[in-house]
Amino acid sequence: MALITLLHGPNLNLLGQREPHIYGTATLDDYVAYTITAAQEYGHEVHAFQSNHEGQLVDAIHAARGASEAIIINPGAFTHYAWSIHDALAAFNGPIVEVHISNPNAREPWRHTSVIAPVSTGSIMGFGMLGYRLAVEVVAAKLSSA
* Catalytically annotated residues: 23, 100
- For helices 83-90 and 54-64, the axis angle rounded to 10 degrees is 0
CB 71 within 8 A of CB 116: no
CB 16 within 8 A of CB 27: yes
CB 25 within 8 A of CB 129: no
The DSSP letter of residue 146 is: -
Q: Which residue type occupies 143?
A: L
